[in-house]
Chains A and B, each alone.
Chain A
Amino acid sequence: MRIRTITGLDLGILVPVIALCLLGLLVIYSATGGERLGSGPFLKQIIWLACGVIAASVVIATPPRTFHAFAVVIYSISLLLLLAVLLLPAAGEGARRWIHLGPVNFQPSEFAKFALVLVLARVMSDRRFRRERLQGLILPVALTALPFALVLVEPDLGTSLVFGVILIAMLFWSGVKGIYLVLLVTPIVSMVAAFHWIPWLIFFVILLVCIYAFRVRLTDAAYLLVINPAVGIATPLIWNSLKTYQQKRILGFLNPSLDPWGAGWHIMQSKIAIGSGGLLGKGILHGTQKKLEFLPQRHTDFVYSVIGEELGLLGCIAVLLVFYIMIRKTISLAKTCNNKFSSLASIGIVSYIAFQAVVNVGMTLGIMPVAGIPLPFVSYGGSSMLFALVSVGLILSIARHRFEY
């Protein structure tokens, strides 16, 4: 594959990322009031961007084998940090997601995404990884389950799902049989479907048909036929034994955004902002919805709404296109990599960048649930910006070394 470069940097990946970061700055400037420069989010974002560029430069200069060597150490540190978030005294009674270091708030879950990609890439590129056996999946699943659980209890359901997406994408890329991915996902589907017997029955019939149609091996079929009914029976039993207030707590825990503002108020405002933008938008700094504070979180999770309002459909599609180019280039890179670790790591990183972009944009457009996931490179947020850039740094480093074994 041909790659245009400056000093060995893959421009197909670098240019889209730079474009997104600059657009992010512009929109944050516009969304947080414009004239009051030098105060608040805009300046902070510039500082974080600078830190991110420095960190990414260091990563670019580091060969991927170094990350292979330190993958387990990095992963362990990320787990310790996630534990620290839960154990350190919380600032209040709300969700615990940050570690406060003086003026800087650090969000370990962002670091954990990057760390999980490294450790999974290392495990799956190991010769001992037996992708054709179900037992081979135990280690990757366990490695994912730890950060998943730690982030889930923060509680931050949206971010914890990102870990699951990383696992599924990397398993898929490593060539694990499709049926094993189904095995991983079915117990969760079973749990959700079990709240009413009709959906569960439909689910189970489909499962049986699939087992028959795809000629699933006997042991795998046995696993499916034991674990799914077990989960299906246990879920309503456990649920019904809980008191009303406990059930309420769990529901609130699973979805903290079930706010009294009536979930959907944010979405409605976001749709009005985007829809009123039209083809060309109202022009940067000229949005009306964001100015009137009708649009909440307009520089963090709802930054895409401001883009839609001020830059219109062209801006919206341009952002999607730029993301798509970057994702496509990275997948092509993963395909041409000679080194299996590098190939898997690229896919892991691009899977969470793509997932976050899709969920965030989908949310602002009102076709995905509110999950509290930022738009990579664009949304205001220190830790997410820093680690998105570090992740891209790794992809660029992989691109420089892609012919090495």
Chain B
Amino acid sequence: MRAPSRILIGFVGVVFAVLAFRAFQLQILAHSRYTSLAEKNRVKIVTTHAPRGRILSADGKVLADSRPGYSISVLPYQIGNPDTLVLRLAPVLERSEEDLRKRIHDAMARPLTLQRVARDVSMEVVSWVEEHKLDLPGVSVEVEPMRRYPLGEVLCHLVGYVGEISQKELDALSDRGYKYGDMIGETGLERQYEEYLRGREGLEFVEVDARGREVGPFPDRKPVAASPGNDLYLTIDSELQMKAAEALTNYERGCVFGVNPSNGEVLVYYSKPTFDPNLFAVGISKEAWEKLAKMPSSPMWDRVSQSAYPPGSIYKLVTAASALESGAANRWTRFAPCTGAFEYGDRSFSCWSVHGRMNVVPAIIQSCDVYFYQAGIALGVDRLAETGLSLGFGKKTGIDVPDENSGLVPTSKWYNTKFGRRKWSKGVVLNVAIGQGEILATAVQLCNMASTIAESGVRHRPHVVSRVLDRDGREEFTAASERERVALSDTTIAILREAVYGAVNQPRGTGALAASLDHRISGKTGTAEAPPREDNSLFVGFGPHENPEICLIVIVENAGSGGSVAAPLAGRLLEHYLTSRPEGAL
């Protein structure tokens, strides 16, 4: 092994000699040049701001953009005594001394970096600072883009908001070029599409002398041009969105969500109560944040995709599909008649009315609980869960918003882990079969299921962003159509479609208040118990029946039955959309 060891030692020797020579070159041959560079203290980096991308609705309304604003910044190593500065600045900025002191103290950790202490200050503050410039060493006024949300509360949950990057995010993202004081998408699309929306700051390398005076551009470094963020184009119909907000005016909590069943494009996405995202964009005050966070109605919560509700009778469509597919029932199977209640084990399960003997179609139309108790018993909890899962419940739909809730489809395995083996009654399936008990679903999942029925068994992944364009109009991202056929037979689909049409258009249908004179609307009501408060009211529907263009769900919390509250609201929204579209009425 003599030869390889000589080759290796020789090779390492040569490489080390090259490194040593390079050190010699820098430290001896070019020493004076680098010394003068170092002594002049010399390069200052000036960042040029790049605006964040805009967010636009399908009909071209601007939902988020940037406007210029003034910030007050400090360069800590120049400020001298921080306490004097705090005393001078706090009253002008109308900030508490404690708050400002903390801010400036934090900034001292990076003595040479220009750091913001107040964002979006008024013209009066700017002129005051400029006037007192000589007494305020290290303090400067910067112009920078501020985020603005023109529609404000109407689309706050979907669009989300930006905020100053936190230390935790900074640690995780530092290798992506984020730095202290940057704005970053915190929720909603602002967060989901951060990578596309964020602008990349440009850099200019300026040579400065020992006193910090700019001498000129630094010869060895070319400036890096700023590149603005990309624009998001949404599928949202801003007019329908406004109508949805209007529809819920008289109710405190609820949500509206709608898609185009033929491609999964989300048309409306509204959650109530709302908040003003513009408060966050310029740095929300501590008091305002605490007030929002502590409100019992949790306005920050996105009820469309993050809340999982008991679906109520809407879930009877799943139970019906499961029974028809598994052969537990067919179109004409009639179970024991509804007498207003049903005995199972030692318990009595009630129905909201007395329906008599009926098959699956009138059972859906009149939403008879007793029919579905018996269908549930015939199916068992696992077969029912299987259909639920195949129709998209219990898992994320994949909609392009962050933190989507998966909901819950209980199986016998789930009950075993939750309550222990044999410690739960078979009676749980009666509740699940009518969408009560442990089953939980999001508005997105419920709407997705209905849209699958509307589209005769084809499911599309719902999406909000249709494409992303850069400032020159080049396409950076296009939403891919993701469709799949669910495992339901044509017969089952036909029966379900017949039933949801009847539920709206027959006199005894529970969704009759959603009916329209001009359009053929189908749908299913849901009334979910929410003790101790009043029931949650749900309605999911689509139209036109033959060739659906919109499928929409309305959920109103603690408002009453699905047929009396959500159905008329949803009916008016569907009618409005179908009438206002370019093709017009029937």
Contacts and interface: CB of A to CB of B under 8 A. Distances in A.
Interface of A: 90-95, 169, 172-173, 175, 243-245, 256-257, 259-262, 264-265, 268, 271-279, 288-289, 292-294, 308, 312-313, 316-317, 320, 323-324, 327-328, 331-332, 334-335, 343, 347, 354, 358, 361-362, 365-367
A324 B16 contact: yes
B16 to A, nearest CB: 5
Q: Which of B13, B34, B39 has the most CB of A within 10 A?
A: B34
B38 A274 contact: no
Given A244-B474, A260-B203, A365 B38 contact: no
Contacts of A358: 15-16, 19
Interface in B172-189: 172-177
Contact of A261 (B27, B38, B177): B177
Contact of B30 (A275, A289, A354): A275
A262 to B, nearest CB: 5
Interface in B103-145: 110-113
B217 to A, nearest CB: 14
Contacts of B168: 91-92
Given A95-B175, A274-B34, 20 more contacts: A94-B172, A172-B4, A175-B1, A262-B203, A265-B45, A275-B34, A275-B35, A276-B34, A278-B35, A279-B27, A288-B38, A288-B39, A292-B41, A294-B43, A312-B27, A317-B23, A324-B16, A327-B12, A358-B16, A367-B22
A248 to B, nearest CB: 9
Contact of A328 (B12, B203, B224): B12
B176 A94 contact: yes
Contacts of A289: 38
A347 B4 CA distance: 11
A172 B9 CA distance: 13
Contacts of A316: 20, 23, 27
Q: Is the interface of A mostly helix, strand, loop or mixed?
A: helix
Given A275-B33, A294-B43, A331-B5, A260 B28 contact: no
B27 A92 contact: no
Given A90-B172, A354-B12, A278 B4 contact: no
B67 interface: no
Nearest to B478: A243
Contacts of A94: 172-176
A245 B476 contact: yes
A320 B16 contact: yes
Contacts of A264: 221
A320 B20 contact: yes
Interface of B is mostly: helix
Interface of B: 1-2, 4-5, 8-9, 12-13, 15-16, 18-20, 22-24, 26-28, 30-31, 33-35, 37-39, 41, 43, 45, 110-113, 168-169, 171-177, 196, 200-201, 203, 220-221, 224, 474, 476-477
A347 B221 CA distance: 41
28 contacts: A91-B168, A92-B168, A92-B169, A94-B174, A172-B8, A175-B4, A245-B477, A260-B201, A261-B45, A261-B203, A274-B23, A275-B27, A275-B31, A275-B34, A276-B38, A278-B31, A308-B23, A308-B26, A316-B20, A317-B20, A320-B23, A328-B9, A332-B5, A343-B1, A361-B19, A365-B26, A367-B19, A367-B22
Given A244-B474, A260-B203, A365-B22, A92 B37 contact: no
Contacts of B18: 367
A23 to B, nearest CB: 16
Contacts of B477: 243, 245
A178 B216 CA distance: 54
B168 to A, nearest CB: 7
Contacts of A172: 4, 8
Contacts of A367: 18-19, 22
Nearest 5 CB-CB pairings of A with B: A92-B172, A275-B34, A276-B38, A260-B177, A275-B26
Contact of B37 (A276, A331, A334): A276
A3 to B, nearest CB: 16
A209 to B, nearest CB: 23
Contacts of B113: 293
Contacts of B45: 261, 265
Contacts of B2: 335
B228 to A, nearest CB: 13
A350 B450 CA distance: 65
A313 B19 contact: no
Contacts of A292: 41, 111-112
A175 B168 CA distance: 50
Contacts of B171: 91-92
Name the residue in B13, B22, B196 with the highest tally of chain A Cβ atoms < 10 Å from its Cβ: B22
Contacts of A262: 203, 221, 224
B239 to A, nearest CB: 31
Contacts of B174: 94
B175 A259 contact: yes
A53 B273 CA distance: 60
A331 B10 CA distance: 11
A275 B31 CA distance: 5
Given A260-B224, A324-B12, A293 B23 contact: no
B38 A272 contact: yes
Nearest to B200: A260
A369 to B, nearest CB: 15
Contacts of A294: 43, 112
